């Protein structure tokens, strides 16, 4: 019994973490392939992150956005150095980054009558009213309507449809280069390039929502890089603060002049302690060889998952992903597989009903990837989650 509002389905009580491992209140240890839903890129208890937090907390925890602080200014510089000439706005979460991006796009577009937002089928951008308005799943949106008007959903990977939707009224087009909640769907490079061209031709802004797929998750620092495009706006959060709440919006420098004092703000956005942690994260992500290792480990995992698909074709329909962001589309529901893995000491999560989502910490060891594969093989070999012939239920 708990006094917490029951909007999450949960039962485990987590007490500590180290590396890719989490320990619950009963003393059980789990290999965590959810990584705080993509937050704990450097795993748990990273000593440099912990010491940066301690050091900054003892100097200054908060001073408000009425003043500059050194860690926040340095972090903005680090993000711009790693991306493109831009101005940075800090937030506390993914949905707030998206919310800010919507406002910036409106602020910029309103003068020329651009008020509409285009997003994609399967996309997820957050739970606050603006971000929810461009989130695809009916189940999330319907109970809260009416939402922000003038939003349209375009079929995924359909440039023809996008051409029909993006026009002189479009303020911005929001895309996740790899859809997370939508089932780990990788946007093909030519689709991203086509969208970028369409935006340039029509004057709409292109927003790359990298809250889940950004900051090293796909093996590149930013997921848009793969398509050699430069978005107008990038939204970030999840791993940015090393586990502390921190998000950011990068707005292309030439556009930043449209935003004036008072146009937007946030009491906590850009907290110096979170920024100090984030400087460690950015340093690690941009240090030589780190992303190459993510890519290599991802390739090893992908190879093995593909082999697993060949071994269990009745249970695995598709394996897709990039870097260390994978979706395993099953023929039956993913929940029994998640439960089967947990019984074997592995935590993972779903992305939709039939997709098992893997987001291990970027620092996961090869031996830990192998442990996961052994447990996953065991779950599948027992027929767990297998859809029974004749439309019956699933083997639990």
Ligand X SMILES: Cc1ncc(COP(=O)(O)O)c(C=O)c1O
Q: Which residues bind ligand X (CB under 6 A)?
A: 93-95, 98, 124-126, 176, 180-181, 209, 211-212, 237
Strand order in the sheet with 14-18: 14-18, 21-24, 29-32, 346-347
* Minimum distance, C-beta of residue 230 to ligand X, in the bound complex (Å): 19
Residue nearest to ligand X (CB): 94
Taking each helix axis from N to C end, the angle separating 70-82 and 272-285, rounded to the nearest 10 degrees, works out to 30
In the complex with ligand X, the residue whose CB is nearer, 116 or 181, is 181
In the complex with ligand X, the residue whose CB is nearer, 126 or 321, is 126
* Minimum distance, C-beta of residue 234 to ligand X, in the bound complex (Å): 11
In the complex with ligand X, the residue whose CB is nearer, 181 or 368, is 181
* Minimum distance, C-beta of residue 95 to ligand X, in the bound complex (Å): 3
In the complex with ligand X, the residue whose CB is nearer, 241 or 332, is 241
Helices (H), 110-250: 129-133, 138-141, 159-165, 189-202
In the complex with ligand X, the residue whose CB is nearer, 116 or 209, is 209
* Minimum distance, C-beta of residue 51 to ligand X, in the bound complex (Å): 25
* Minimum distance, C-beta of residue 66 to ligand X, in the bound complex (Å): 25
* Minimum distance, C-beta of residue 129 to ligand X, in the bound complex (Å): 12
3-state secondary structure of 27: coil
Among residues 381, 354, 360, 363, the alpha carbon closest in space to that of 372 is found at 360
In the complex with ligand X, the residue whose CB is nearer, 226 or 340, is 226
Residues 198-201: contacts with CB under 8 Å, at least 24 apart: 198/159, 198/162, 198/163, 198/166, 198/173, 199/166, 199/173, 199/232
Cβ–Cβ under 8 Å, residues 235 and 97: yes
Q: Cβ of 170: how many Cβ atoms within 10 Å?
A: 23
């Amino acid at each position: 019994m708990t006094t917490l509002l029951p909007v999450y389905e949960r039962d485990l009580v987590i007490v500590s973490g180290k590396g890719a491992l989490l320990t619950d209140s009963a003393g059980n240890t789990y290999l965590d392939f959810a990584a705080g839903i993509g937050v704990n890129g450097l795993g748990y208890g990273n000593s440099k992150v912990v010491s940066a937090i301690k050091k900054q907390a003892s100097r200054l925890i908060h001073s408000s956005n009425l003043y500059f602080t050194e860690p926040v200014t340095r972090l903005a510089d680090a993000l711009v150095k790693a991306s493109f000439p831009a101005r940075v706005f800090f937030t506390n979460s993914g949905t707030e980054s998206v919310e800010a991006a919507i406002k910036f796009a409106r602020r910029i577009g309103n003068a020329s009558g651009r008020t509409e937002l285009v997003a994609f089928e399967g996309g997820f951008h957050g739970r606050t009213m603006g971000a929810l308005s461009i989130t695809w799943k009916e189940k999330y949106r319907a109970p809260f309507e009416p939402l922000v008007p003038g939003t349209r959903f375009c079929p995924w990977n359909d440039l023809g449809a996008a051409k029909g939707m993006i026009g002189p009224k479009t303020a911005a087009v929001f895309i996740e280069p790899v859809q997370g909640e939508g089932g780990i769907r990788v946007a093909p490079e030519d689709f991203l390039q086509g969208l970028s061209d369409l935006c340039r031709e029509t004057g709409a802004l292109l927003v790359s929502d990298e809250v889940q797929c950004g900051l090293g998750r796909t093996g590149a620092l930013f997921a848009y890089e793969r398509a050699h495009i430069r978005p107008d706006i990038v939204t970030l959060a999840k791993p940015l603060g090393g586990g502390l709440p921190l998000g950011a919006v990068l707005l292309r420098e030439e556009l930043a002049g449209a935003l004036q004092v008072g146009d937007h703000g946030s009491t906590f956005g850009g907290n110096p302690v979170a920024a100090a942690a984030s400087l460690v994260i950015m340093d690690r992500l941009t240090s030589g060889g780190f992303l190459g290792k993510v890519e290599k480990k991802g390739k090893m995992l992908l190879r093995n998952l593909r082999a697993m698909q060949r071994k269990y074709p009745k249970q695995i329909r598709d394996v897709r992903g990039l870097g260390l962001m994978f979706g395993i589309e099953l023929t039956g529901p993913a929940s029994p597989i998640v439960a089967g893995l947990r019984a074997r000491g592995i935590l993972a999560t779903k992305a939709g009903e039939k997709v098992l989502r893997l987001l291990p910490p970027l620092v996961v060891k090869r031996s830990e990837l192998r442990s996961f594969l052994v447990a996953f093989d065991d779950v599948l070999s027992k027929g767990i989650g297998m859809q029974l012939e004749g439309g019956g239920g699933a083997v639990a």
